[in-house]
Chain A
C-alpha cells in the first residue's frame, strides 16, 4: 500500500497543470446553449492541439496511453481548473473505446481522428421511452434493405444529438430470439432524412437531452459494429466505459461546490451555528470517502483489470452527496438561492438528475446486490 503518486504520475500532473494554467477555455458564454456548445468544441480543439483530448487512448490512436491513475489525474485537474468537459465527451469516453475494441482497422482510421479533434460529435442512442432501466427490452427495429439496414423507432435522453454527426445506436434486428440476443449495434449517420431530433426541456429549463425519432434511417452494412445480433455485448463495453474517468471530474466539482458553500456560509456569519458546521463536516467526510474509494477502484482496475466491490459504489455515493450538498446550500443561503439564474438554484435542480442519469440509484443497488453480494435476482 502506497498512496503517494509515482514520479511519473506527479510529472504528468505538473505538465498538465502548467498547460491548463497557460490555456484557458475563456469565459463561459451565458444563456445561449449553442454558443455554450461551441465554446466546449473550441476547448476540445485546444485540448487536442495540446495532446490532452484523450489521454487514456493508446498512442497509436492519438492518445497518450495514460494509465488509469493518470487518466483520473487528468479529470481531477480539468475539474479543478474550472474548465468544462470537452464537447465530444461521449465520443472520447464511450464511442472511441468501443470502436477500438470492436471495429476493423479501416473503421478505426475513419472514425477515431474526428472524434479526437471534435470535428465529428457523437451521441448515444440506447434508452427508449419504454426501455430505460430495462434497456434490453428496447423496440427500435433494424430491418435489412439489400446491403443496408433501415432503422425505425424512438430514442430518448439523447444528449447533444442536435450537434452530433454520429450516433451509437442499439436496435432490434431480430424479434424472434430472446431479448438480449436480438440486438445489433449500429453507427448511425445523424445527418440524413429519417432522423429527427427534438429537444427535451428539463426541470432546469435547459435542454441537455433530446428525443430522437428514426423513420427508416439508413445504415450501411459496414457500419454494423461487432456483428449482427451481438449488440448487447458491444453495448456493455460502452456502458462499462461510462463511469470510469468522469467520476474524478464530478468528485472534484463537488468538492469545489462544498468549498464555495463553506465560504459563503462564512461570509454570512453562519459558521457560529454548530448544527450547520456539523452538516458541512458530514459532507466533507463524504467527499473524502468518495475520493479515497475512487482511488481504491483505480488500484483494483490497474492490478486486476476490473473494479472491485468499491467500483460499483462511487456514482451512488456522489449522486446522493451532491444532492444533499445543494439542498443544504439553499437552506443556508435562503430565498436568494431560489431565484431564477442563481447558480445554486441551477445546481439544486440539476442535482435531481444525478440519481437518475447513467443508472438510477435503484438500479445501482440491484447491480450491487446481484453482482457483488450474490443475492438472488430481485423482484
Chain B
C-alpha cells in the first residue's frame, strides 16, 4: 500500500504549480474575472504541455496517464483558479472515453486531448441544468442523471450562457437531442464527478493558505490574530476538511484507474465530501479575513464562488449522498 504521489506525479504537481504561479497569479486572475474571459494564451501553453490529454489514451493522441495524474493537475488549477476551460474539456473527454462508442472516441478525443477543441460537461434534466464550459465548446456532454447521457455537437446544440456568480469559468445550459452515449455511464459519471471534487480540494488548499497568511500578518490587541484560539481552531478545522477531502478524492481517482468496481461509491463520496468541504473552508476563509474578506478587493470570494458552483456541478451533495445510500442498501423508497 502506497497512499502517496509517485515521483512522476510529484513532478507533474510541481510543474503545474510553478507554471500557474507564474502565469495565473492574483492580478491575472482578477483581470480575467473582471473581463469574464478565459486566458487564451495560457490555454495554448497548457495545451502544448499536454494537460488536456493527460488522461486520454495514447491511441487517441493523449498521454495515456490516469485520473490520479489528472487530479494532481486539477488540484493546482483549482487552487490558482486558472481561467482556462480545462475541467470542462477533460470532463467531456473522460465521459466520452468511458461511455462513448469507438467512432465517438475517434471523432472527439484527439481534438480534446490536444486542446484544439474544448468541451462542456454537466447535468441537465427537467429539474436543473448546469454545464461547465462555454457556448464555444465543440462538444457538450450532457448527463441526464447517473444513468444516461448524450453528446451534442456545437452545430446541434442550443447553448445559452449562464451568468453565474463565478466569473472565472464559463457555464452554460444546453438543449438539443444529440446522440446517446451507450457505454459505461456510471463510470463516466463517477470519473467526471471526481474531477470536480479534485478541483475543490485545490480550492480548499488555497483558501487555507490565504487565511493562514492573513491571520499571521494581521495584528489586533498587539498580537497576530492567529494567536487567538477562536481563530486558530477555525484554521485547524479548515485543515481537517481539506485533508479529509484529499484522502477521499485520491482514493476515488485511484479506484477509477485500478479498481473500477469501487469507483461509483468512491466518486460519490469524494464529490459530496470535497464539495461540502470547499464550501465550508471558503466560508471560513472569508470569516478568517474579517471585514477585508467581505470586500471585492480580497481574492477569497473568487474561491467561495467557485466552491458554490462546484457544489452544484455534476449534482449537489444530496444527490451523491443518495447514491451512497443506494450503495449501502439503505436508500429510502421513493
Closest to B72 in A: A1
Name which of A1, A265, A317 has the most chain B CB atoms within 10 A of its CB.
A1
Residue contact A369 to B243, C-beta cutoff 8 Å: no
Contact of A281 among B5, B6, B246, B324 (CB under 8 A): B324
Contact of A379 among B1, B3, B229, B324 (CB under 8 A): B229
Overall SS of chain B's interface: helix
Tell whether A365 pairs with B236 under 8 Å between CB atoms, given A272-B333, A293-B247, A375-B227.
Answer: yes
Contact of B2 among A1, A277, A280 (CB under 8 A): A1
Distance (whole angstroms) from the CB of A248 to the closest CB of chain B: 13
Cβ of B130 within 8 Å of any chain A Cβ, yes or no, is no
Cβ of B250 within 8 Å of any chain A Cβ, yes or no, is yes
Chain B residues near A289 (CB-CB < 8 A): 244, 247-248, 269, 273
- Against B, the Cβ 8 Å flags (1 = close, 0 = not) of A303-320 are 100000110010011000
Name which of B240, B246, B322 has the most chain A CB atoms within 10 A of its CB.
B240
Residue contact B240 to A313, C-beta cutoff 8 Å: yes
Residue contact A4 to B1, C-beta cutoff 8 Å: yes
Contact of A365 among B227, B233, B332 (CB under 8 A): B233
For chain B, residues 223 to 237, give those with C-beta under 8 angstroms from any C-beta of chain A: 223-224, 226-229, 232-233, 235-237
Cβ of A284 within 8 Å of any chain B Cβ, yes or no, is yes
Overall SS of chain A's interface: helix
A-B residue pair count with CB separations less than 8 angstroms = 158
For chain A, residues 147 to 167, give those with C-beta under 8 angstroms from any C-beta of chain B: none
Closest to A263 in B: B330
Residue contact A69 to B1, C-beta cutoff 8 Å: yes
Tell whether A379 pairs with B247 under 8 Å between CB atoms, given A1-B3, A262-B328, A362-B233.
Answer: no
Cα–Cα, bound, A4→B258 (Å): 9
Cα–Cα, bound, A296→B244 (Å): 10
Chain A residues near B330 (CB-CB < 8 A): 262, 265-266, 271, 277, 280-281
Name which of A2, A266, A366, A377 has the most chain B CB atoms within 10 A of its CB.
A2
Residue contact B325 to A293, C-beta cutoff 8 Å: no
Closest to B266 in A: A288
Tell whether A271 pairs with B332 under 8 Å between CB atoms, given A3-B254, A303-B4, A369-B232.
Answer: yes
Residue contact A9 to B1, C-beta cutoff 8 Å: yes
For chain A, residues 242 to 287, give those with C-beta under 8 angstroms from any C-beta of chain B: 262, 265-266, 271-274, 277-278, 280-282, 284-285
Cβ of A26 within 8 Å of any chain B Cβ, yes or no, is no
Chain A residues near B68 (CB-CB < 8 A): 1
Chain A residues near B306 (CB-CB < 8 A): none
Chain B residues near A369 (CB-CB < 8 A): 226, 229, 232-233, 235-236
Chain A residues near B232 (CB-CB < 8 A): 365-366, 369-370, 373, 375, 378
Cα–Cα, bound, A353→B245 (Å): 27
Cβ of B212 within 8 Å of any chain A Cβ, yes or no, is yes
Cα–Cα, bound, A292→B318 (Å): 22
Q: Which of under 10, 10 to 19, 20 to 34, or 35 or more describes the interface residues of A? A: 35 or more
Cα–Cα, bound, A288→B229 (Å): 29
Distance (whole angstroms) from the CB of B107 to the closest CB of chain A: 32
- Against A, the Cβ 8 Å flags (1 = close, 0 = not) of B297-334 are 00000000000000000000010011011001011110
Residue contact A285 to B269, C-beta cutoff 8 Å: yes
Distance (whole angstroms) from the CB of A359 to the closest CB of chain B: 13
Chain A residues near B240 (CB-CB < 8 A): 313, 316-317, 368
Cα–Cα, bound, A4→B332 (Å): 33
Closest to A378 in B: B229
Cβ of B20 within 8 Å of any chain A Cβ, yes or no, is no
Residue contact B239 to A372, C-beta cutoff 8 Å: yes
Cβ of A295 within 8 Å of any chain B Cβ, yes or no, is yes
Cβ of A374 within 8 Å of any chain B Cβ, yes or no, is yes
Q: Which of under 10, 10 to 19, 20 to 34, or 35 or more describes the interface residues of B? A: 35 or more
Residue contact B227 to A292, C-beta cutoff 8 Å: no
- Against A, the Cβ 8 Å flags (1 = close, 0 = not) of B1-40 are 1111110010000000000000000000000000000000
Chain A residues near B235 (CB-CB < 8 A): 369, 373, 375
Residue contact A285 to B273, C-beta cutoff 8 Å: yes
Chain A residues near B321 (CB-CB < 8 A): 278, 281-282, 285
Chain A residues near B250 (CB-CB < 8 A): 1
Residue contact A5 to B1, C-beta cutoff 8 Å: yes
Cβ of B98 within 8 Å of any chain A Cβ, yes or no, is no
Cα–Cα, bound, A271→B229 (Å): 40
Tell whether A309 pairs with B243 under 8 Å between CB atoms, given A366-B229, A378-B232.
Answer: yes
Contact of A313 among B224, B243, B269 (CB under 8 A): B243
Contact of A285 among B9, B215, B246, B324 (CB under 8 A): B324
Distance (whole angstroms) from the CB of B315 to the closest CB of chain A: 14
For chain A, residues 30 to 79, give those with C-beta under 8 angstroms from any C-beta of chain B: 69
Tell whether A288 pairs with B269 under 8 Å between CB atoms, given A296-B3, A373-B212.
Answer: yes
Chain A residues near B259 (CB-CB < 8 A): 3-4
Cβ of A376 within 8 Å of any chain B Cβ, yes or no, is yes
Cβ of B96 within 8 Å of any chain A Cβ, yes or no, is no
- Against A, the Cβ 8 Å flags (1 = close, 0 = not) of B160-176 are 00000000000000000
Residue contact A272 to B332, C-beta cutoff 8 Å: yes
Closest to B68 in A: A1
Contact of B239 among A272, A300, A368 (CB under 8 A): A368
Cβ of A6 within 8 Å of any chain B Cβ, yes or no, is yes
Chain A residues near B251 (CB-CB < 8 A): 3, 292
Cβ of B56 within 8 Å of any chain A Cβ, yes or no, is no
Cα–Cα, bound, A273→B254 (Å): 34
A: residues with CB less than 8 A from B are 1-6, 9, 69, 262, 265-266, 271-274, 277-278, 280-282, 284-285, 288-289, 292-293, 295-296, 298-300, 303, 309-310, 313, 316-317, 362, 364-366, 368-370, 372-379
Q: What are 9 A-B contacts defined by CB distance under 8 Å? A: A1-B2, A1-B68, A265-B330, A281-B321, A281-B330, A295-B3, A365-B229, A373-B232, A375-B212
- Leading 3 A-B pairs by shortest Cβ distance: A369-B232, A368-B236, A292-B247
